[in-house]
């Protein structure tokens, strides 16, 4: 029995306050000093006959999720959406008690989720991707980590030892010039002026569909669109042409909402154009198209990072291979360059 440092960087006290044969108690702390103080207090209480074993945690995972939301989750930009997702995961797990959540329990749950063997509301859930499973794990880990920081969960994170699943990166699809022309023509002919203009804004600024669709007139000044309340939390401004500025405000006020909800109209027209895209990329295909063409035309990756509002350059580097100069040194600097 001793105090030891865990792989997570925390310190664990592992003791038997009532001596050999007595109940074994383990507890984790942020510092070694805290672990030592707790250990001494437990032995002192045991010497006085005052020591009692800690109570078992009888809370369910649902209780922890709700407490996480009350204390922290509500402050997140999409906190309610995250809570609902976590509660749906809890339901898929069978509403477990927290003490039932072990690495083995979660590994079995994940495998069934990957194979589509689970039911929700008496309906089978289809198989999901490894990437989605990794998101599930990250969200659930975050609940325990935050409650540990707030002192509302004692002990280690039960999911800390679960490894993320390896998976191949999916190449981001984008539209070529012919497909762009076909799509914009079809949108214009569809009669949905909102979807047509929102699509054009996405193509010239790299905006997410929701960012463009929710624009207000006040966000466009001097041929520059300012996007706020973005996914990354960053405010960013992107210039547009005078022609597009005039087109946007030809029949619209410079104040108030500019567009109505029109995403379904966009996807309907996109489908009618018979443009084949990987599953899940329809909503971001215009953003990927802007970024891909920007790099293929010689644009700078750091500039693209600022335009797209990425918080991490790793996100922007997904487009690096499209640069006309990307890895060109491989031709002149390979060991056979002087021979070939």
Q: 103 and 23, same structural domain?
A: no
Q: 308 and 184, same structural domain?
A: yes
Distance between CA 19 and CA 209 in Å, rounded? 64
Q: What is the pLDDT of residue 49?
A: 66
Query: pTM score, two decimals?
Result: 0.67
Considering only CA atoms, which of 243, 235, 197 is closest in space to residue 219? 235
Q: 200 and 281, same structural domain?
A: yes
Considering only CA atoms, which of 14, 31, 12, 7 is closest in space to residue 161? 7
Q: 188 and 130, same structural domain?
A: no
Q: 24 and 82, same structural domain?
A: no
Q: What is the pLDDT of residue 9?
A: 85
Q: 215 and 120, same structural domain?
A: no
Q: What is the pLDDT of residue 54?
A: 62
In a domain, 220, yes or no: yes
Backbone angles phi, psi at 265, to 5 degrees: -65, -40
The residues that are catalytic are 208, 231, 284, 287, 310, 319
In a domain, 140, yes or no: yes
Q: 81 and 209, same structural domain?
A: no
Q: 275 and 206, same structural domain?
A: yes
Q: 132 and 15, same structural domain?
A: no
Q: 12 and 102, same structural domain?
A: no
In a domain, 272, yes or no: yes
Distance between CA 325 and CA 52 in Å, rounded? 69
Distance between CA 204 and CA 294 in Å, rounded? 10
Q: 214 and 113, same structural domain?
A: no
Distance between CA 103 and CA 106 in Å, rounded? 5
Distance between CA 55 and CA 49 in Å, rounded? 17
Query: Can you give the length of the chain in residues?
Result: 340
In a domain, 328, yes or no: no
Q: 107 and 77, same structural domain?
A: yes
Q: What is the pLDDT of residue 246?
A: 96
Considering only CA atoms, which of 141, 139, 152, 16 is closest in space to residue 71? 152
**Owning domain of residue 12:** 2-47
Tell me how many domains the chain contains. 3
Tens digit of pLDDT at every position of the chain (340 positions): 588 888 888 888 888 877 776 778 888 888 888 888 888 888 777 766 665 666 677 899 999 999 999 999 999 988 999 999 999 999 999 999 998 999 999 999 999 999 988 877 767 678 888 889 999 999 999 999 999 999 998 888 999 989 999 876 667 889 999 999 999 999 999 988 899 999 999 999 999 999 999 999 999 999 999 998 887 778 999 999 999 999 999 989 999 999 999 999 999 999 999 988 887 788 899 999 999 999 999 899 999 999 999 988 988 998 888 887 766 776 666 777 766 5
In a domain, 337, yes or no: no
């Amino acid at each position: 029995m001793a105090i030891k440092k865990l792989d997570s960087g925390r310190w664990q006290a592992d003791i038997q306050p009532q001596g050999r044969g007595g109940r074994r108690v383990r507890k984790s702390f942020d510092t070694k000093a805290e672990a030592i103080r707790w250990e001494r207090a437990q032995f002192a209480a045991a010497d006085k006959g005052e020591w009692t074993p800690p109570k078992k945690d009888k809370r369910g995972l649902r209780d922890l999720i709700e407490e996480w939301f009350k204390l922290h989750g509500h402050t997140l930009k999409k906190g309610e959406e995250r809570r609902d997702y976590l509660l749906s995961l809890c339901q898929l797990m069978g509403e477990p008690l927290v003490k039932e959540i072990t690495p083995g329990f979660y590994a079995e749950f994940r495998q069934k989720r990957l194979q589509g063997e689970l039911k929700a509301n008496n309906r089978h859930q289809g198989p999901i991707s490894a990437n989605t499973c990794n998101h599930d794990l990250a969200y659930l880990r975050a609940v325990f980590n935050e409650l540990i920081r707030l002192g509302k969960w004692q002990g280690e994170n039960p999911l800390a030892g679960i490894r993320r699943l390896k998976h191949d990166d999916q190449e981001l699809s984008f539209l070529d010039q012919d497909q762009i022309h076909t799509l914009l023509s079809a949108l214009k002919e569809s009669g949905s002026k909102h979807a047509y203009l929102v699509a054009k804004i996405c193509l010239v600024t790299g905006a997410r569909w929701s960012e463009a669709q929710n624009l207000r007139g006040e966000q466009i000044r001097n041929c520059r669109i300012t996007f706020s309340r973005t996914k990354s939390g960053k405010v960013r401004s992107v210039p547009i042409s005078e022609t597009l500025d005039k087109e946007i405000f030809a029949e619209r006020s410079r104040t108030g909402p500019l567009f109505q909800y029109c995403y379904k109209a966009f996807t309907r027209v996109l489908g009618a154009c018979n443009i084949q895209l990987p599953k899940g990329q329809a909503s971001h295909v215009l953003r990927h198209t802007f970024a891909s063409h920007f790099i293929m035309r010689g644009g700078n990756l750091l500039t693209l990072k600022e335009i797209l509002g990425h918080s991490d350059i790793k996100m922007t580097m997904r487009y690096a291979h499209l640069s006309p100069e990307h890895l060109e040194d491989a031709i002149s600097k390979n060991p056979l360059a002087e021979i070939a």
